[in-house]
Structure 1
Amino acid sequence: MSKHTGPSTPDPSWPDPSRPDPSPTNLYAALRAAFPQDLSQWAVETDTGLIYSWRDLDSASGKLANLLASLDLPAQSRIAVQVEKSVESMLLYLACLRAGHVYLPLNTAYQKGEITYFIDNAKPAVVVCRPESFNSVSQIAFQHGTQHVFTLGDDRTGSLLERAAHCDDAHTVVDCGLDALAAIIYTSGTTGRSKGAMLSHGNLLDNAQVLKAYWGWSTAGGAHLAGPQGRGDVLIHALPIFHVHGLFVAIHGALINGSPMLWHAKFEPKRAIADMARATVFMGVPTLYVRMLAEAGLTPAAVQGMRLFISGSAPLLTETFRDWHTRTGQTILERYGMSETIMLTSNPYSADARHGGLSERRAGTVGFPLPGVGLRIHDDAGQPVPQGEIGGIQVRGPSVFAGYWQMPEKTKEEFTADGWFKTGDVGRVDGEGYVTIVGRSKDLIISGGYNVYPAEIESIINDMAGVAESAVVGVPHPDFGEVGVAVVIAKPGAALDTAAMLAQLKTELANYKIPKHLAVVAELPRNAMGKVQKNLLRGEWAKLFEA
């Protein structure tokens, strides 16, 4: 086994702050300890001009935590949340942490069938939804045994805040232990059955502490850290908060450093560029960078106060990487993670002593394994591959999840006998230690930062009248990185209306899962065993969106 395909081990010289303080027994306690001493300073400014102080974050999340306590819920109850992005929805997440319950964020695009599955599977004690969704969501929730359903709007309205307003803001953080569950993140499987990845307080805290050190988060003022009030880093938060990138990486990154956030409820490229005059860190998916590159206002002067641009959740095209550097003089840092593991690798922010002092951020790579993360490349037989060759990526470390909710057999299946998690991604590690993701063994499509699993879409298409069979593959797209293309075979004598088929899909699936193109063909390419060769389909349709 080459040294670069075996587990990565932290360099002994790596600073102690990259590891979590063992004393906190609740993630919120660790985040709260990083708040500035002067709690009257601003912590969040919204795109509507609302200002929240650090005291506001602590007291409002305390009220919400006391509301949860008043419901007499069992310890580690699931709290399912499907609401629009708002500071209050972040406060609800913090309240769940400090109350010792399990946060279950749900994409706002999910439709009735998807919501029904999640509620039935997770059995949440509390469901929080948008006011306009109350009738449909509450009916599903009550039918599946949920006792409490609240509403929360993105304009600070809803029954959740109305009830919490009568609660005390003084709350004692629950001593739940770092092994206790903090969140369940649903990630679809190749069979279309979503799996709930169970993440503990310790998983999330370790990753936050490691990223704080590795990405150079600072509270010190200075020419390169021109944050307000001399507090150093300021984050532009322009991501959704129902998945790992926006909820854990971005929010934890700011809070564990006591850094303010400029809060964007919706991404708008002109506003994001304008706010860079007051910020130092931006996190986005490739689509956001593509949209900002289309703006004339993106210039070196516009970003001169920024120190770090991070991209993830989908592959960053080399063209986008290079165009951003040409336009701004800044180099995007690409990283790699999963719902089950949070962040695993990162291109270096500065010289990495573990890898010969290398500091280059290389297009097409996701950098080095983070301190504490073990990463190895094995073949299908479970054997290590030679350096530079392609194989399945396996990982282990303190941020790797405990398993899938209510799926012990699936959990066992996804781990090796010696305890490494099989990511399902395919990649290689070069002679200098840089990791490159070359594909996904399970045909996962990542479109605009969201996971799309072909089997889920295929099962619906195959049930449509006149359809004999379908195959969905991912192809390159200049805006979304990758999108789905559905290739369909009609039954003999059937005439398929592709527009009507896409319209039907939109009634059953979240919009980001809908294929960008649907074609009817005479046959699908197959191997000798009759299996559809999706690699040939991807090649056939690869240039569809090239223009």
Structure 2
Amino acid sequence: MHEQGIGAWLAKRRLKSPDKLALVHGEGSTVTYRQFADGTDRVAALLRRLGVGRGDAVAYLGENSPDFLQVMFGAARLGAVFVPINTRLAPPEVAHVLTDCGARVLIHDPEFGERVAAAIGTGPSPRVVVTGEGTADRPGLTRLLSTTVMDDAAVAVSLDDPAAIIYTSGTTGRAKGAVLTHGNLTWVALNCVVDYDVVSTDVALMISPLFHVASLGMGALPVILKGATLVLEKGFEPGRALAQIERHGVTMLSGVPTTYQLMADHPNWATTDLSTLRKLTCGGSAVPTRILNAYEERGLSFSQGYGMTEASPGATSLPPAMTRAKQGSVGLPHFFTSVRIADEHGAPIADDGIGEIQICGPNVFPGYHLLPEATAEAFTPDGWFRSGDLGYLDADGYLYISGRLKDMIISGGENIYPAEIEVLLGEIEGVTGVAVIGVPDARWGEVPWAIMTVREDATVDTATVQQFLDGRVARYKVPKNVVVVDELPRTASGKVRKGDLRSLFAG
């Protein structure tokens, strides 16, 4: 039997680096690769005892922890499909995921018990296991594993077999399940190893949730593939993140612009030892100049990138050396991935021409779970994934994002790409977040508005924005109104849910 899937990784790590530190979690609890692999084998044996077999869905609702990863790899050993659930979902949304994937087993952290009970009450009925010790009459995962005998639970898995179903954020309707194969997850990890130069001595701080594919596919998996160390955090708090960097000698960190801004604004920023940091990756949106400046003052540069769930999720990355020379770009295609720009008829567009970004490569998913029509619509006749994003490639092959096709604003017949305006507005002192949307207008059809979050000590209004943009962009691109809000609605990956904003302000 030749096992090609990710389920084989930890058995190989147990042979190659058994005593190497694999995971750090909580207040200094540690797990070696031998312990990680043994725990995964026990999970596989337990899942099989619970009736899980090849192709069955194993759902997980919980924060970053060794349990999360052991359940994922344990399911993979059986040829089962891992389904991580966004911890922010409401009971009806959880119910949709469980029903859609047909979960055989649901494992969840105790704090989500009420949500699970409400979700289960609406229809789906998987076998439910809580993490931790549980109770005498309902033993939890920890207690069940302590009495589980390891056996050879692994089955033959190919790279084409499904490994996970990741549900999209649902910004355009009910969440769709993107099926990611073992090959998809293997190739995205290899892309990261190559383009981010991941090495076995790295220590990666995971402050973003593993249920999001960026943290999983481009954060945890390449680190585990290389036998490096993961420091797992249940959530993000800027002061604690800084402390963990210093405490554990963190070399790798990934986040979104807001994450990095909050760390730079923290009182401990100037005194924290950041000398071990080597690799900072940022997604979600372009890094504003003020954040670049703050980190460059500490000798740090970013690798920015672009991707989506359907690409597992990485499509491009911008090397730190090009951060300034290609500021605003999301970089070059990953090593084993290709990107092109096409017009509305599918014809390739020359350098600097704006069109739809299309992606091809072994990290691109085969389709949506039980949605053949949506899958067919997502691909071109020659097999390229249609991202729905607008962008262009410069003469050197670097990709620039112009916005979503559905987010493009047409004002008086002129196309306005929100990303262009958002990058500029992010440079205004005191602005911590910004989204530009189109609002209906009797004269122009629609006009741009800027929805912002700002620091408590800052004052930013419509006049501020209009004065700042005067002479920088065409007048029709200047927002006609600025609304300051306490918080921008975001997906788990940090992307602004513009559909929510349009519902609020555009009617």
Listed as ranges, the matches of 1:230-249 within 5 Å are 232-249=201-218
1:51 is displaced (CA, Å) by: 1.3
Alignment partners' CA distance in 2, 1:190 and 1:301: 38
1:409 paired residue number: 373
Q: In 1, Cα distance between the equivalents of 2:386 and 2:133?
A: 38
In structure 2, the partner of 1:192 is: 173
Instruction: Give the equivalent residue in structure 1 for 2:357.
Output: 393
Q: How far did residue 484 of structure 1 move?
A: 9.0
Kindly indicate whether the alpha-carbon contact (under 8 Å) linking 2:132 and 2:142 is maintained by their aligned counterparts in 1. Answer: no
What aligned pairs does 1:80-95 form with structure 2 within 5 A after superposition?
Answer: 80-95=59-74
SS of aligned partner of 2:228:
coil
The answer to whether the Cα contact below 8 Å between 1:331 and 1:361 also exists between their aligned partners in 2 is: no
Residues 436 and 448 of structure 2 are in contact (CA less than 8 Å); yes or no, is this contact kept in structure 1? no
Equivalence for 1:332: 302
State the Cα deviation string for residues 332-377 of structure 1 (Å, max 9, x = none): 1101111010211001267xxxxxxx79773321110011212111
Distance 1:119 1:372 in 2: 33
Q: Name 2:190's counterpart in structure 1.
A: 209
> Pick from 17, 20, 44: which aligns with 1:41?
20
Relative to the length of structure 2, the TM-score reads 0.78
When residues 38 and 283 of structure 1 are mapped into structure 2, their CA distance, relative to the original with a 3 A threshold, is same
Note closer, same or farther for the CA distance 1:400–1:118 as it changes in structure 2 (3 Å cut): same
How far the C-alpha of 1:537 sits from its partner, in A, is: 7.3
Shift of 1:381: 2.4
Residue 367 to residue 486, structure 1, CA distance change in 2 (3 Å): closer
Q: 2:450 and 2:431 mapped to 1: Cα distance? A: 21
Answer yes or no: is 1:79 the counterpart of 2:58: yes
> Structure 1 306/136 Cα, relative in aligned 2: closer, same or farther at 3 Å?
closer
- Could you say which residue in structure 1 is the equivalent of 2:276? 305
Render the CA deviation track for 1:510-539: whole Å, top value 9, x for unaligned. xxxxxxxxxxxxxx42689xxx73756773
Deviation at 1:304, TM superposition (A): 1.8
Gaps of 5+ in 1: 1-22, 220-231, 351-357, 445-472, 488-523
1:502-517 maps to which residues of 2 (within 5 A)?
A: none
Determine helix, strand or coil for the equivalent of 2:310.
coil
What is the aligned residue count?
A: 438
Query: Secondary structure in 2 aligned to 1:367?
Result: strand
Q: Which residue of 1 aligns with 2:403?
A: 439
Give me the whole-angstrom Cα distance separating, in 1, the residues matched to 2:242 and 2:164: 32
Cα drift, residue 127 of structure 1: 1.4
**1:322, distance to aligned residue in structure 2 (A):** 2.8
CA-CA distance at 1:84 after TM superposition: 2.4
Looking at structure 2, the residues matched to 211 and 404 of structure 1 have their Cα atoms a distance apart, in angstroms, of 24
Superposition map of 1:250-329 within 5 A:
250-277=219-246, 278-299=249-270, 302-326=273-297, 328-329=298-299
Q: Which one has more relative contact order, counting CA pairs under 8 Å at least 6 apart?
A: 1
Amino acid at match of 1:441: L
1:215 and 1:349 in contact (8 A); partners too: no
Between the aligned partners of 1:406 and 1:247, the Cα distance in structure 2 is 23
CA contact (8 A) 1:84 1:154 kept: no
Deviates more, 1:426-435 or 1:87-96: 87-96
Q: Tell whether the 8 Å contact from 1:286 to 1:311 is kept in structure 2 after alignment.
A: yes
Contact 2:41 2:151 in 1 (8 A): yes
Hey, what does 1:344 align to over in structure 2? 315
How far is the alpha carbon of 1:90 from its aligned partner? 2.0
Assess, with a 3 A threshold, how the Cα gap between structure 1 residues 154 and 281 changes in structure 2: closer, same or farther.
Answer: farther
- TM-score norm. by structure 1 comes to 0.73
**Hey, what's the Cα distance between the residues in 2 that align with 1:155 and 1:50?**
20
Which position in structure 1 is the counterpart of 2:446?
A: 533
**Structure 2: runs of 5 or more not aligned:** 409-421, 452-478, 487-507
The letter for the 2-side match of 1:195 is: K
Using the alignment, how far apart are the partners of 1:189 and 1:482 within structure 2? 21
Q: Deviations over 1:308-340 (max 9, x none)?
A: 1111134322332233213x1211110111101
Q: Distance in 2 between matches of 1:401 and 1:412?
A: 12
In terms of mean alpha carbon deviation, does 127-136 or 424-433 score higher?
127-136
The 1:285–1:439 alpha-carbon spacing in structure 2 relative to 1, beyond 3 Å, is same
